[in-house]
Structure 1
Amino acid sequence: MSDPLPERTSLIGLKILLFAHLREIAGTNHLALDLPSGSRVRDLKQTLKSRFPELGQRLDNVIVAVNQVFASDEDVLEDKAEVALFPPVSGGAGPTIVAVTDAALDLDALVAQIVQPTTGAVCVFTGIVRGETKRGEPHQTIALEYEAYVPMAEAKMRQIADEIRQRWPEVEGIALVQRIGHLEAGSPTVAIACAAAHRDMGVFEAARYGIDRLKEIVPVWKKEIGPRGETWVEGHYHPRRGE
């Protein structure tokens, strides 16, 4: 009796997009790639290193987005996913990261993306879904539903990063990330991070400015869900023309 044939490993098909120096080194801005089912982002990076040895350690510092959502090395890739690889976005003196995402916020990964060899201080502001509100009319919140006009929101976040650099030119890296979707009480909703060589170079003021400005001009809305029902929360600031 003959031995049974080994089962074939199922494959997933990926669309890979390369930008900036990654595109130049690889000689292409896109390619199709098949990987074994269950492969993670780190497996994709290793495969690209094998195919394009000249990329080398550059892949260790890239940002990866899967279907336009930032991904970590441990994220599992799905069939037909679009995977973009690019360096931290350049914006003035250092990297600028802006994103609207439905993925959980990884603050350590976010900080790592804006830290430079000269960085000695990072100030991070994180908004949290508050379960109990005591200011004004006290009430409880079960969850928030965040919605955004994503293309305009990300454009306005880039504008805020530019404004921060104009006011605090010694700030190096800047990150502004807003989460959308259904968020339970206690969940981080937004992260503003500013990096500089020293703590007295405006990082505290810049992070505060970033969240205040985001609340003014970035088109993001939230619906509050509580024991007494649901309601959309409206702000009061009306941006001026050109703002």
Structure 2
Amino acid sequence: MLFMKASRLAAAGAVAATAVVVLSSPAFAHVTVQPEGAAAKGGYAVVDFKVPNERDDASTTKLEVNFPTDHPLASVMPEPVPGWKIEITKSKLAKPVEAHGKQLTEAVTKVTWTADGKGIEPGYFEKFPVSVGALPEDTDTLVFKALQTYSNKEVVRWIEEQKKGDEEPENPAPVLELAAASEDGHHGSSATDKAADPASAENASASTAAPADSSDTTARVLGVVGIVVGVVGVAYGVLAGRRRTAA
């Protein structure tokens, strides 16, 4: 009886787990944007546009990302991605914007990646890194509307903005969450800043190597002590046995 109850519970759990996977899987298939490290207000950051392939019979061959014009970015520099051509579109702003003491009349409004090979095949995703800044200080988020084109000419428009209190839309636009600037006046640092500093990398490797060496030495010492204690214990047991026999 208990075995049957356990079997039923296991089966119910398996069904529930399957349902969770099926229901939640579309949420992981959106085009998204995430910073490498911190995207602090007023600073610069490297952000990755992550593009998964949602189709079983077509490849993603093009990505168009529209940059916000209500909070234009003075600097937008894509990182080269093997197998993709990059086109940067600049446009005149309808209304000049004051950004960090500079009057912006023109800004990057779109970056387009076009595959010159197979693109993103079914079952894979690709990241498209872009260095951006200076990030605005008067908003908590930046919305990047994106278009994803497949090899069968299908276009998925990731342009729907999330409204507070509503459910997530079917095709949500990528949203970058901005962190607060640090109290010491610095605006955070991106992953590329650390990678570009050889001294930092050397110090980091040294600091991570030290504990490993120390733990190895400790392990060896404890191992030797354990062997010695074991030998002494065996010898004591043998002597005690002989004494009992002699008695």
Q: Relative to total residues, which structure has the larger helix share, 1 or 2? A: 2
Q: Which has the larger radius of gyration?
A: 2
What is the TM-score of this pair, normalised by structure 2?
A: 0.22
Higher relative contact order, structure no. (Cα contacts within 8 Å, ≥ 6 residues apart): 2
